[in-house]
Chains A and B, each alone.
Chain A
Amino acid sequence: MTPAWTLISAFAAALIVLLLPARAAMASRVVALVASIIGAVAAGSACLAKLANPDAAPWSFDREWIPNLGSRFHLAADGLSLTLLFLTGITAIAGVLFSWNIEKRPRAFFAFFMTIIGGVYGVFLSRDAFLLFVFYEIVILPKYMLIAIWGSTNKEYGAMKLTMYSIGASSLILIGLVAAYAAAGATSFDIAHLAAATYPPAMQAWAFPVLFLGFAVLAGIWPFHTWAPTGHVAAPTAASMLLAGVVMKLGAFGALCVAMPLFPQGFEQYKALIAGLAVVGIIYGALTALSQKDLKFIIGYSSVSHMGFILLGLAAANHWGLRGAVLQMISHGIIAGLLFGIAGRVVYERTHTRDLTELGRFDLWKSLPGAALAFTLATAASMGLPGFSGFVAEISVIIGLWQVYPWLTIAVAAGIILTGVFSLRALYRAFFPEREAGAAPPPKLPPLTWPEISAMGLLLAVSIAIGIYPKPWVQLIDDGLRSPLFQSILSLP
C-alpha cells in the first residue's frame, strides 16, 4: 500500500459515512474505524519499507492541478512525513475508539472526524505550498463543527475562539506564502522551488515572522496559546485528541517544513526570540496547569508546556534540535491523546465532572482501576520519564539546545520539575483522593469497555515502543532531515 491510501481512505470514509442511511450509528463507526486502520497500516507499512530499504526513492505523486498559478498536485512521503502519517493514523484509530459511544448524529460526527484526518494527512504529504494551504484550511471548518455541536463547557465560545485564531493565523500564512511566491517569480508554488529561491534580507526580516507566526499560533506558541486550553476543554473527546494530538502538530510541521526553509536568514534573526518564547511557554504552561481545577484544563495547559519543547527544538536549529522537535511532535501527539481520552471519555462520561475536588468523591482508583493505572502511566510518560517517548524527545531537544543556548537548559530543567509537580498533583487529586473516614462510599461506575481499553493500550504501547527503542524512529526522521530543504537551516552558524 502506498501512502496515498491514507488520504484516499480518510476522504472516502467521510463520503461513505454520509451516504449511509440516517442513524446508522454502528455502520458509521465501523467505516471510520476501518478507514483509520487502513490509514495507519498504509503509513506503518511504508515506514517499514523505508527502514528495510532506506535508499529507495521516496513515494511521490505529481500531477498538474492549477496551471495558471503554477500549483501542482504534488504529494511525496519521506521518512519524516511517514512518521507523522503514522502518528495521525494511530491517533485516528484511538479517536474513533474513544468516540465509539457517540449517539448524537453519529454520521455527521464521523464524517467531520474523517475529513479532519484526511486534511491532516494531506498537509503532511503536500510538497506544494498552495496544496498544503488548501489541506490546512480543510481542517478548520470540521474542527469548528465538532466542537460547536458535540462539545461541552462553553462550547460556542471555545469553538469560535479557536476558529478565529485559526483563521487569523491562516491569513498570516497566506500573506507569507504569496509574498514568497511573488518574489520567487510567480511561477510555481512548489516548496522546493520556493526554498531554492533567494529572497532579499529585508523581505525575509518581515516575511519570516509573518509566516512563522501563522504556523506557530496553531502550535500554541506563547502568548498566542489561549485558544488551545479553551478549545481542548470545549471539544468532545475525540476532537481534543485530534486538536492536541495532530492539529497542533500541523503548525509545528508548517513552521519546520515551510517557514524555516523558505526564509532561513529571517529565521536566523528571530531564533533567539523563538527559543525565549518557547521557554516561557514551557514554564508558563506548567505553572498555569498547577493552579487549575478542571482536569482537561490541566492537560490543556500541559500541552502548551509540551509544545514549547517542539518550538525549542526548532529554535536550536541543529540535528539534535530538529530531530527532538519531530520526536516531541509524535510523543506529545500520543501522550496528549491518551490523557484527553482518559479524562474526557473514560472519566467524564461516567462521572460527569472534571473538577478535581468533585472527582475525589468517586475514588476512581477503586471504581475504575484500569483507568487509574492508564492515567498513572500516561502521567509518567508526560513527565518525560525514561522508557516513554517523552524522554527521548526531551533529551534530544536539550542536547541540541545545549549546543546553542546552554543557559536556557537550566530553565528547561526547572520546567521539567514543574511538570512533575502539576502532573502528580492532578493524578493524586483526580484518581487517588484523600478520603474522610465517614465519607459516603463511592458510587458504582460502569466498567471499562473494550474500545476504551484497546485505545488506551494502543497509545501506551506506541509511547513505550518509542521510549525503549527509538532507533528506527530516529532513522526515519533523519531521512527527512537529510532533504535539501533543511540544509540552509542546519548550515546556519
Chain B
Amino acid sequence: MADHYHLLLWCVPLLPLLAGGIIAFLPDAKGRIASKLAIGALFVSCLLALGALGCVLPAGTVRIPAPLTWFTFGDVTLKIGLLLDPLSAGMAAMVTFVALWIFIYSLGYMEKEKRFGRFFGFLSLFCGAMLMVVLSSSLLLLFMAWELVGLASYLLIGFYYEKPSAAAAAQKAFITTRIGDMAFFLGMIWLYGHSGTLLFYDGGNGLLESGALSSLAGATTIGGLTVSAAASLLLLVGAMGKSGQVPLHTWLPDAMEGPTPVSALIHAATMVAAGVFLVARTHPIFSLGGDTGIALTATAWIGAITALYAALVAMAQYDIKRILAYSTVSQLGFMMIALGTGGVAAAMFHLIAHAFFKALLFLSAGSVIHGCHEEQDIRKMGGLRKAMPKTFLVYAIGMMALAGFPFVFSGFWSKEAILHSAEYWPGGKGPFLIAACAALLTAFYMTRQALLVFFGESRSPESHPHESPLVMIVPLFVLAAGAVLLSIIGTPLWPWFEKWIHGEAAVFHAGAFGEKGAIGLLVLSFVIVTVGVGASVAVYRNAMASSDTPDPLCSKLGGFWRFLENAMGFDAFYQKAVINPLAFFAGGIDMLERMIFVPLMGLAEMAIKGCGRITRASDEVGLNKGFDGVCDGLRERADSTSRSQTGSPQGYLRTIGLGVTVLLVLYFWLSAG
C-alpha cells in the first residue's frame, strides 16, 4: 500500500513532465494532439493531487515516502524525494487545479497560434517542475526544480521570440532570477556544509528537525550572525528573485510580454509564489533567531517596502497587464510581510486565494485583450461592460477579491489575516502601517482600472469588441467561484486553514470577533476599502473623455506621477549601475586579452623566428660553405663521369667488350702466374 501511494505521489509531477517531453517530439502540425495530451496528463495529476490532499486532511497527518539516493560516497549521501504535508498538499492541489483551468482557457486563447502544440509542451514542463518544487522533500530537489521552473518561465516569456521586447524580457527574467538563485544555492551549500543533510525531515536528522536546527542556531559566523540567520538571508534573496521583491522585481512587469495565460499561471498564480513557498517551507530556520531576529525582520520589511512600492507604481500604469503585474508584486509583498511577522498560515492562505483571483483577473484581462483585438492600453478602452457582460461579471469578482471587499471575498479574509499578523508583531508597527496604506492603494488602483476599462463610453469607437468563446468563459467562472468560496475556510469564526497548516484541528469559534482587537481590525479593513474605492470613483468617474485625455492625477502630481509611471527609475538605474559597467568591464578584459596575450604570443614568435635567423645564418656561413664545397666537387666529378652515359647501345657494347677482354687477360695472366 505504502509503495502504491509513493508511486502515485511521484506521478503528480512526473505526468506533466512526461507530457512535456513527448510533446517536444511532436511536429507543430500535431498541436491539437499535444493540447489533449497536456490537458489529460494534468487532469490525472490534478485528481491525484486532490487525492493526496484528502490523505492529509485529518489534522496532523504528514507522509514522507522514502527518499531516493541521488549521490552517495561512503557515508555522505545526497537524497531527494517527495513530502506530503498540509503545506505541500495544499499547494499541489491549488497548482494543478488552477493550471488545469488555465490550460483549458488557452485552448481558446491560443487557437490561432502556429506553435500551439509547443506552447502546451512548455506549459506542461512548467507544471511538472512547479509540482516538484512544492512536493520536494529536500532542499536539493527543490532547488533543481526551482531552476527548471525558471527555464520554463524563460521559454514561455520568450514564446513570441520574433518580438525583440519579448526576447529581451525573457533574458532579463532569467538573469535577474538567476542572481537570486545563486544566493539560494550558496545558502543551500552552507546549510549542507553545516548539517550534512538537505532533507527537510529524516526521522530526526532532517534539516528542519531539532538536531540540525539547534546546531544551526548555535554556530556563529562573520559579524556575530548565526549560521541560521546568514543562510536564511541567502534563501530570502533567492525568494526575492523568484517572487519579484524589491530590488529584484524589475523582471516581473516585463515578463508580461509572454502570452496572457502564461502571465496568469506563472507570473501571477504559481511560480512567483514559489519564493513565498520557500520561506514558508524553511520557516523553522528563519524563525530560529526569534520573532524579531534579523531574518524575519528583513523578510517583513522587504515585504512591506515591496507592497507599498508596487501599489504606488500600479496607480500610474496604463497597460492593463502591467497594472496587474505590479499588483502581483505588491501582493507578494503582503505575503512576505505575513511570513516575516510569523503568519505562515496567513501567507499561505493569501497565496492560495491570490492564485485564484489573480489568475482570474489575468484571464479576464486576456479576454478583454482578445475582445479588443489585442489592445492593452486602458486609455483606449472604456464601456466594455456592455460588449462583454460575462467578462465584466467575473472581472468584477476578481477585482473585488483583490481590493478586499468585505465578507464574501477570500481576498478580504486573507488580507485581514495578514494585517492581524502584522499588527501583533513584536518587532514594531512599521510593516502593519505600510501594509494598511498599500491595501488602501490597492483598492484605489483596482477601482481605477475597472472604471477605465468597463465603465463610461468607449474611447475607441472604431473598434468592435466582442465577447470571448465559451471555452474561455467557463474557466473564468470556475476561478471566480473559487475566489469567493475559499473565504469559508479562512474566517476567524472557523480558522480551519490556519489550524490545518499547523497540524491542528479547527473548532468553530463563535466568539472570535469578540477577541481583543478583532472587531477593530475588521472595521479598519472595511474603512480602508471604502476610502480607496470611494477616492478612486471620485477621481476617475467621467474623468477620461477620450484616449488623449491625460490622467487626472497626472496634472495634480506632475513630476511625481512620471516618477511612478517609470516605476521609480529602477530599470534606468540598473542600466547605468550594472549593465553598462559590466559591458565596459567585459570589453576591457577583451582588450586586455587582445593587447597583452596576443602580443605576448607575437613576441615569443618573433623571438623564436629571430633565433631561427641566427641559426640559419650560421648554417649559411659556417656549415654550408664546407658542405657545399664538398658537394660542388662531387657534382663536377659526376659531370665528367656522366658524359660516358651516351645512351647508344654500340658504345655500351664496346665498353663491355673492352671490359670482358681486360678481365679475360687478367684471368689468364693471374692463373698462368
Asked if B586 and A385 make an inter-chain contact with CB atoms under 8 angstroms apart, the answer reads no
Asked if B586 and A291 make an inter-chain contact with CB atoms under 8 angstroms apart, the answer reads yes
Chain A residues near B593 (CB-CB < 8 A): 226, 288
Asked if B144 and A387 make an inter-chain contact with CB atoms under 8 angstroms apart, the answer reads yes
Q: Flag whether A470 is at the interface (Cβ < 8 A).
A: yes
Contact residues on B (Cβ < 8 Å of other chain), bracket: 35 or more
Q: Which residue from chain A places its CB closest to the CB of B165 in the assembled complex?
A: A434
With A226-B597, A413-B182, A471-B72 as contacts: A424 and B586 at CB distance below 8 Å:
no
**B495-541: which residues lie under 8 A (CB-CB) from chain A?**
none
Minimal beta-carbon separation of A389 from chain B (angstroms): 13
Q: Flag whether A420 is at the interface (Cβ < 8 A).
A: yes
Interface-facing stretch out of B171-179, B568-576, B643-651, B660-668:
B171-179
Q: Flag whether A161 is at the interface (Cβ < 8 A).
A: yes
Chain B residues near A395 (CB-CB < 8 A): 185, 189
What total of chain A residues lie within 8 Å of the partner, measured CB to CB?
Answer: 47
Minimal beta-carbon separation of B567 from chain A (angstroms): 22
Instruction: Write the B143-180 contact mask toward A (1 if CB under 8 angstroms, else 0).
Output: 11101100100000010011010010001001100110
**A376-429: which residues lie under 8 A (CB-CB) from chain B?**
380, 385-387, 391-392, 395, 398-399, 402-403, 406, 409-410, 413-414, 416-417, 420-421, 424-425, 428
The winner among B143, B162, B583, B605 for most chain A CB atoms within 10 A is B162
Instruction: Write the A464-490 contact mask toward B (1 if CB under 8 angstroms, else 0).
Output: 000001110011001000000000000
A407 vs B576: C-alpha distance in the bound complex, in angstroms? Answer: 28
Q: Flag whether B219 is at the interface (Cβ < 8 A).
A: no
With A292-B590, A399-B193, A409-B186 as contacts: A434 and B179 at CB distance below 8 Å:
no
With A380-B151, A399-B193, A410-B186 as contacts: A432 and B167 at CB distance below 8 Å:
yes
A387 vs B143: C-alpha distance in the bound complex, in angstroms? Answer: 11
Asked if B161 and A385 make an inter-chain contact with CB atoms under 8 angstroms apart, the answer reads no
**B436-481: which residues lie under 8 A (CB-CB) from chain A?**
none
Q: Flag whether B190 is at the interface (Cβ < 8 A).
A: yes
Asked if B186 and A386 make an inter-chain contact with CB atoms under 8 angstroms apart, the answer reads no
Q: Flag whether B73 is at the interface (Cβ < 8 A).
A: yes
A63 vs B669: C-alpha distance in the bound complex, in angstroms? Answer: 64
Chain A residues near B186 (CB-CB < 8 A): 409-410, 413
Minimal beta-carbon separation of B123 from chain A (angstroms): 17
Minimal beta-carbon separation of B574 from chain A (angstroms): 13
Chain B residues near A290 (CB-CB < 8 A): 582-583, 586
Chain A residues near B605 (CB-CB < 8 A): 160
Q: Which residue from chain B places its CB closest to the CB of A391 in the assembled complex?
A: B144
Chain B residues near A288 (CB-CB < 8 A): 586, 589-590, 593
Chain A residues near B601 (CB-CB < 8 A): 161, 226
A237 vs B144: C-alpha distance in the bound complex, in angstroms? Answer: 33
Q: Which residue from chain B places its CB closest to the CB of A226 in the assembled complex?
A: B597
Q: Flag whether A319 is at the interface (Cβ < 8 A).
A: yes
Chain B residues near A410 (CB-CB < 8 A): 186
Minimal beta-carbon separation of A274 from chain B (angstroms): 20
Q: Flag whether A306 is at the interface (Cβ < 8 A).
A: no
A365 vs B582: C-alpha distance in the bound complex, in angstroms? Answer: 28
**B349-369: which residues lie under 8 A (CB-CB) from chain A?**
none
Interface of B, helix, strand, loop or mixed by DSSP? helix
Tell me which of B73, B147, B148, B174 contacts A474 (CB under 8 A). Answer: B73
Asked if B171 and A287 make an inter-chain contact with CB atoms under 8 angstroms apart, the answer reads no
Chain A residues near B144 (CB-CB < 8 A): 386-387, 391
A287 vs B581: C-alpha distance in the bound complex, in angstroms? Answer: 12
A488 vs B413: C-alpha distance in the bound complex, in angstroms? Answer: 64
Q: Flag whether B604 is at the interface (Cβ < 8 A).
A: yes
Asked if A287 and B167 make an inter-chain contact with CB atoms under 8 angstroms apart, the answer reads no
Q: Flag whether B641 is at the interface (Cβ < 8 A).
A: no
A420 vs B583: C-alpha distance in the bound complex, in angstroms? Answer: 14
Chain A residues near B69 (CB-CB < 8 A): 471
Q: Flag whether B563 is at the interface (Cβ < 8 A).
A: no
A416 vs B143: C-alpha distance in the bound complex, in angstroms? Answer: 15
The winner among B164, B175, B583, B586 for most chain A CB atoms within 10 A is B586
Asked if A402 and B71 make an inter-chain contact with CB atoms under 8 angstroms apart, the answer reads no
Asked if A223 and B597 make an inter-chain contact with CB atoms under 8 angstroms apart, the answer reads yes
Tell me which of B175, B192, B587 contacts A417 (CB under 8 A). Answer: B175
Chain B residues near A323 (CB-CB < 8 A): 73
Chain A residues near B190 (CB-CB < 8 A): 402, 406
Minimal beta-carbon separation of B134 from chain A (angstroms): 16
A395 vs B174: C-alpha distance in the bound complex, in angstroms? Answer: 20
Give 6 pairs: A residue, B residue, CB < 8 Å, sorted on A: A160-B605, A288-B589, A290-B583, A413-B186, A417-B175, A475-B72
In addition to A385-B147, A421-B175, 18 A-B residue pairs with Cβ atoms within 8 Å of each other are A161-B601, A164-B604, A223-B597, A287-B589, A290-B582, A290-B586, A291-B589, A291-B590, A320-B76, A391-B144, A395-B185, A402-B190, A409-B189, A417-B175, A421-B582, A424-B175, A474-B72, A478-B73
